[in-house]
Amino acid sequence: MKKWIPLAVAAAMALWILAGLRPRPDHGFAFSEFGRLPLMANGRFQPMDSVARNSLLLIREKQSANLEPWKEGLARPKILPAIEWLAAVTMTPEVADGWPVFRVDHPELISELSLPEKDAGKRSDGKHYSWNQIQPSFTKLERETTRVSGIEESHRTPYDRAVLKLERQLTLYVGLKNALVPVDAADWPRDLAEFESLVAARDSGVGSERLAVFLRGFDAMTAFDPPLVVPPHHPERSTDEWMRMGDALKEAARTGKVHEAARDYAAMAAAFRAGDTDGFNRAVAAYRTSLAASSPRELAKAGRELLFNRLQPFYAAMVV
């Protein structure tokens, strides 16, 4: 009997690991398919899911977002998978800005930025804060970042390192907010149509001031190094490369032709904001279909990495 125990344990562990390959069922928005979409970040092609997980690791030191960190585990705090968090950051940033995902551990920095201490009654665990909570102290943080940047790395204190860490977290977050659509776009498909009409009428001088506003917004989208999400117009040409959305929109101002990826992401964002699951899922499926024709290798690579993310072999090995 005893000789079967190791085999039974091994079989149970194998089943548990393989179960991770099964996609989490989507009840509504097709987050699994959204997470499979390819893009380029940190110099390599990867799925949207990897960007979500890696970004949360840097911002929160976890691969999921706890929206109620002041609650104990038995109180069942609301936990979001990384890809659902990223969808909100990129398409409804005004909602994501209220989620306490930025981890700040140094008590002196918490005090300097006037962040709340641990108090469950005030919905604070004393170490996770939202963009909205940190924003009033951006001037202080910018001043401290400038001071610390002038100090040799070997001479920086734990407080100094905490300042730079938070600054990197916030910069990453801003880049993600500008990855797919302009941050302040409440109805981006409508605004995108207006932008196209202004470009078409540019030679007549009509709407030049409004067009300049659009272009300044597109410049802002590229300022914080967001991922490259727009595939090449002509993948067979070696000179064509993936672009940031802001750069693709500025190119459209020159050529008069908006990239289909911009339209697809605009449709996703509009549907997501409206709570239209069918519209969102159709837009994701339409974009995946276009990628299957134009960028099949990148799409396949993203799919393989998504399976790797679900399997989590290193975590599974530690558990075993």
What's the pLDDT score for residue 8?
46
What's the pLDDT score for residue 244?
96
What's the pLDDT score for residue 48?
96
pTM equals 0.88
What's the pLDDT score for residue 236?
63
Judge whether 36 and 48 are in contact, CB under 8 Å.
yes
Structure tokens at 177: 């907010």
Per residue, the 3-state secondary structure of the chain, as one string, reads CCCHHHHHHHHHHHHHHHHCCCCCCCCCCCHHHHHHCEEEECCEEEEHHHHHHHHHHHHHCCCEEECCCCCCHHHCCCEEEHHHHHHHHHHCHHHHCCCCCEECCCHHHHHHCCCCCCEHHHCECCCEECHHHHHHHHHHHHHHHHHHHCCCHHHCCHHHHHHHHHHHHHHHHHHHHCCCCCCCCCCHHHHHHHHHHHHHCHHHCCCHHHHHHHHHHHHHHCCCCCCECECCCCCCCCCCCCECHHHHHHHHHHHCCCCHHHHHHHHHHHHHHHCCHHHHHHHHHHHHHHHHHHCHHHHHHHHHHHHHHHHCHHHHHHHC
What's the pLDDT score for residue 273?
96
What's the pLDDT score for residue 316?
41
Task: Show pLDDT as tens, one digit a residue, over the chain (320 residues).
Answer: 555 555 444 444 444 344 444 556 656 999 999 999 999 999 899 999 999 999 999 999 999 999 999 998 777 899 999 999 999 999 999 999 999 999 999 999 999 999 999 887 788 999 999 999 999 999 999 999 999 999 999 999 999 999 999 999 999 999 999 999 999 888 999 999 999 999 988 867 777 889 999 999 999 999 988 999 999 987 665 556 899 999 999 999 999 899 999 999 999 999 999 999 999 999 999 999 999 999 999 999 988 998 878 755 544 444 44
Half-sphere exposure of 113 (CA within 13 A, CB side): 32
What's the pLDDT score for residue 1?
55
Q: Please list, in sequence order, all residues whose beta carbon lies within 8 angstroms of the beta carbon of residue 282, skipping any fewer than 6 positions away.
A: 267, 271
What's the pLDDT score for residue 312?
52
